[in-house]
Amino acid sequence: MDCAGKPLDLSRPEVMGILNITPDSFSDGGDFFSTNRAVERGRAMVTEGAGIIDIGGESSRPGAEPVTEQEELDRVIPVIEQLAPVLEVPISIDTRKPAVMRAAVNAGAGMINDINALREPGAIEAAMKTGVPVCLMHMRGTPQTMQDAPEYTDVVEEVGQFLQERILACLAGGISRDRLLLDPGFGFGKTVVHNLQLLNQLHKLAAFGYPLLVGFSRKSMIGAVMDLDIDNRTHPGIALAALAVWQGAHIVRSHDVRATWQAIRMCAAVRDVLDNRDGVKVR
């Protein structure tokens, strides 16, 4: 994929390193010191193996409060401006807002990661005009409401149906097929069982033929199964990443870049061994 001039090679699985620019993550978001710390963290994640860095200024954890457009811009744009020229890998902008999409790509971002799958009014047109790839994610409800007793008859079927509808909306809005990625949205309006069912059957979504992005890192589904608090979810999260890559996922969004990268490249070597007739070379 061409991410605003920076290539993203998805012939092998990649880690998307998470760079949250929220007051709790980098003290005050926006000031000189927090911008510098965020830039350093972005560079460090590339050293650890990240193939793309995902920058977000609005939390989407269950119950998180929305952020104004100006606040979101103030948080993410300075970091993108400083990081884009010094990173060899692309930056994605994790946002639902059309104005943030436009400003982020102008500042050097090479992908749009929208947990709302471009459903905000004006988002399809804004994304189309940027020319960069777009990840369409499934979410039932909003981060404020999404965990209020979500129900599905067949979660895999319904998530697949939603993503197909969003693909059609994007194609109708002038975004070409080869710019789209899909994400089932683990933790976004799903019970623990729904999340496990989606991962169990992830190969069905991979069969749509679009690059698949997944994110489990530190999420409550791990806490629920394993009874672990948020600071102790790394290892089970890596197991989930491995299961996703085994079924065809292309990008794993994670805080734990080095461990996730090692696990998924090892998985890909096993998965692809029959195609690899001239010896194993993972790096």
Catalytic residues: 219, 253
Which stretch, 171-179, 212-220, 235-243, 260-268, contacts ligand PT1 (CB under 6 A)?
Answer: 212-220
Q: Does residue 253 belong to the site contacting ligand PT1 (CB under 6 A)? A: yes
Q: Does residue 183 belong to the site contacting ligand PT1 (CB under 6 A)? A: yes
Q: Does residue 205 belong to the site contacting ligand PT1 (CB under 6 A)? A: no
Q: Does residue 241 belong to the site contacting ligand PT1 (CB under 6 A)? A: no
Crossing angle of the two packed helices 155-172 and 192-200, in degrees rounded to 10 = 70
Crossing angle of the two packed helices 234-246 and 192-200, in degrees rounded to 10 = 40
Site string for ligand PT1, 85-114 (x = CB under 6 A): ---------x------------------x-
Phi then psi dihedrals of residue 155, to 5 deg: -60, -35
Residue from 79, 115, 180, 182 touching ligand PT1 (CB under 6 A): that is 115
115 vs 259 by CB, closer to ligand PT1: 115
Q: Does residue 261 belong to the site contacting ligand PT1 (CB under 6 A)? A: no
**Residue nearest ligand PT1, CB atom distance:** 215
Residue 57 C-beta-side C-alpha neighbours within 13 Å: 25
Q: How far is the CB of 113 from ligand PT1 (least distance, A)?
A: 5
Residue with tokens 């977000």, as numbered in its chain: 56
Q: Is 24 exposed, middle or buried (0-12, 13-18, 19+ CB in 10 A)?
A: exposed
Sign of torsion over alpha carbons 262, 266, 269, 271: negative
Cα dihedral angle (257, 89, 271, 94), rounded to 10 degrees? 70
Binding site for ligand PT1 (CB under 6 A): 60-62, 94, 113, 115, 135, 137, 183, 185-188, 213, 215, 219-220, 253
